Chains A and B, each alone.
Chain A
């Protein structure tokens, strides 16, 4: 994430006031297709995050709402979107045995708060087995749910696996 700030300075010199790059904000989907929570929806996913003053994601995302998907009422889409966007942070939290991403993920899996600690233990002790570079994040999601289904406590206390 090293910024070559001078390139920004160069453009700033050329254009008084404003130069380009890095987002005003993401061109997201309208509020009708944002339906998260019990009713799930898919959002326009990030193509990638900023990696330099000029490598902004604004340029990586199509403007407008063409990629937005209507809510479909499926909880699994919620989970898929989350693991896709936050995969690395999730793997990191699992390695450390706790974290905000892991906790949110447990919530998305419908796990009761009392078994969050057990979920954290499971993902840490089976870290190597669960998170392999060959699998795409959504495939890892399926794998995790499969492992949870076999665990009696988690299977009973997590409603959305």
Chain B
């Protein structure tokens, strides 16, 4: 069905092209096409003002400014035929159309606009009836090869889960997979289309700044799915969520044609807005005009929100599959072993001698197979997935696998339970309406506004466990008793805190997976322990440090952690204009069932510089609880003690 559709729309099936007055000579159809016919078509396009059509704006990616002018998101000259095409939809359309109708027996079809812009050509063809008017098509060999090769029976949006240890990956990543009609079950061999930046520097600071503000070019590229599996699932221990879309053959044709067009250009890469997940959605623009981008992608593009936008698009159905990461598979295989077998597996994975395998002799063959499979996973976890491993490592790898091969036992496919789907998690943005009270009896209200993403008390389903990632989180405090105060009414509304970024990753220690936990924060806000409630009682703070965590399942689930942090503060709050301190903290996150989570933390601070009132030590205690009412509504309770101040809060959390 699809190949026929492609062939017809490319006009290659000559019998489908009906031409009035075909001359009897052997002149080709291309030579017969007269310039009057070109002008007639140009006039038809002008009369219909096709450059105003929403589809034209979608295809050329025009965005309208508040002044009514247009600019295309595309930044490469190759995306436009008209010299001013980037800002002039009308000029671009007329230039495209004319160029598509001329030079039809070119020796260089690759460069011909019919071949460079097959989606535009298809659309113009439908608008103007180009086929029935006898417009001869240019044969585009590379495009035909591409369409024929992709030939998908299924289109799948794949999301790599978030990865906190690499800031560009903290929100996850998405790309599009095309499962081939010839072998729809060999997913590894599916082709994917990915959008990514081409960095031009390795310098961490430049990389960050340029990545955020359009300093790199982003391009579409293609590769087999197995390349991405190796990168994400093996190399980065990230799960892959595969969302199958039910699309018609016609819709798939549009996506493929449009992808070919987008390949002509680059887009300046902006990490927060025009990032990988944003441009993957480009491919759906010709077929899903109702995709609710504005509702989900306001200010920033967060990958999970692109999935939600697709879910909310009328007529779109998503069916998800879970592909566990290497680490998850390793943990699964490890958990199948008893403690003795675990010891043997550890020994084999860490050892270097062939005699290590003699430990298997006491086991039944089926158990030996399980031990070797787990040992191999752990071995790979430790040694990595590089092609350039040292000889000794390669030989050890082969030894382990050879032992497994010798057993001649066929393993069963792993059956790993999937965590909750990411799109069932709470919304990426949060607003909190909070009431509070201080130990001096004063009441206040707070407004919490957070653009993204998740903290330790928010309902955990769909997020990386025990993680915190907050960006642009604002807390405003309203002190109503100051509205009528004459001395400092300006403090009636106070910046309690503004967190540019706050991240925490607690990874419970378990056999074979012993990662450090860590926490970091960059904030401007009121210095709580000083007890003052004014704008001058504020400072900028940079803090963070490493720690460890453990997990138990005594009730439902408990996480214990301990951190050592450094705190650097500077601001008018301090007599010395700044303060440096170290802290050691211990905390517990307790799940009581699925709806209630409690978090307590105790921290001792020692101020090495800038101590206030000659008191270098102080104690901070925090106790919070989150009661889930629904996917996007929760009740938050909080009580804090810091030096001499105590505060209590109760609030309603609303997510979007």
Binding site for B on A (CB under 8 A): 1-6, 8-39, 43-44, 46-51, 53, 56-59, 63-64, 71, 81-82, 84-86, 88-89, 91-92, 94-101, 103-104, 107-108, 120, 124-125, 127-128, 131-133
Known contacts being A26-B196, A34-B222, A51-B384, is A8 close to B167, with CB within 8 Å? yes
Q: Give the chain B neighbours of A5 by CB distance below 8 A.
A: 164-165, 505, 507, 515-518, 546
Q: Give the chain A neighbours of B249 by CB distance below 8 A.
A: none
> Are B398 and A85 neighbours in the complex by a CB distance under 8 Å?
no
Q: Give the chain A neighbours of B380 by CB distance below 8 A.
A: 1, 88
Q: Which of B4-58 contact A (CB under 8 A)?
A: none
Q: Give the chain B neighbours of A28 by CB distance below 8 A.
A: 194, 196, 221-223
11 residue pairs from A and B, CB less than 8 Å apart: A1-B385, A5-B515, A23-B231, A24-B211, A31-B193, A36-B191, A37-B189, A46-B230, A92-B376, A96-B373, A103-B186
Which chain A residue lies CB-closest to B388? Answer: A48
Q: Give the chain A neighbours of B411 by CB distance below 8 A.
A: 96-99
- State A88–B381 Cα separation when bound (angstroms): 13
Q: Which of A32, A89, A91, A95 contacts B263 (CB 8 A)?
A: A32
> Are B223 and A49 neighbours in the complex by a CB distance under 8 Å?
no
> Are B235 and A50 neighbours in the complex by a CB distance under 8 Å?
yes
Q: Which interface residue of A6, A59, A125 has the most chain B CB atoms within 10 A?
A: A6
- A139: shortest Cβ distance to chain B, in Å? 14
> Are B515 and A47 neighbours in the complex by a CB distance under 8 Å?
no
- State A125–B231 Cα separation when bound (angstroms): 30
10 closest A-B pairs (Cβ-Cβ)? A25-B196, A28-B221, A34-B222, A22-B166, A127-B405, A49-B235, A97-B410, A20-B204, A48-B386, A104-B188
- B83: shortest Cβ distance to chain A, in Å? 24
Q: Which of B180, B223, B226 contacts A37 (CB 8 A)?
A: B180
Extra inter-chain contacts (13) besides given A20-B203, A34-B221, CB under 8 Å: A6-B545, A11-B167, A18-B167, A18-B271, A24-B269, A25-B276, A43-B227, A50-B231, A57-B235, A91-B397, A96-B373, A97-B409, A104-B188
Q: Write the B378-401 contact mask toward A (1 if CB under 8 angstroms, else 0).
A: 001110111110010011011001
B650 on the A face (CB < 8 A) = no
Which chain B residue lies CB-closest to A126? Answer: B405
Q: Give the chain B neighbours of A131 by CB distance below 8 A.
A: 398, 401-402, 405
B522 on the A face (CB < 8 A) = yes
> Are B220 and A22 neighbours in the complex by a CB distance under 8 Å?
no
Known contacts being A31-B220, A124-B405, is A49 close to B386, with CB within 8 Å? yes
Q: Give the chain A neighbours of B223 by CB distance below 8 A.
A: 26, 28-29, 34, 43-44
> Are B224 and A15 neighbours in the complex by a CB distance under 8 Å?
no
B136 on the A face (CB < 8 A) = no
> Are A15 and B205 neighbours in the complex by a CB distance under 8 Å?
yes
- B405: shortest Cβ distance to chain A, in Å? 3
Q: Give the chain B neighbours of A58 by CB distance below 8 A.
A: 199
Which chain A residue lies CB-closest to B519? Answer: A9
Q: Give the chain B neighbours of A92 by CB distance below 8 A.
A: 376, 401, 404
Which chain A residue lies CB-closest to B169? Answer: A22
Q: Give the chain B neighbours of A56 by CB distance below 8 A.
A: 166
B625 on the A face (CB < 8 A) = no
Q: Which of B62-70, B145-153, B360-368 contacts A (4 or more CB under 8 A)?
A: B145-153
Q: Give the chain A neighbours of B556 by CB distance below 8 A.
A: none
B497 on the A face (CB < 8 A) = no
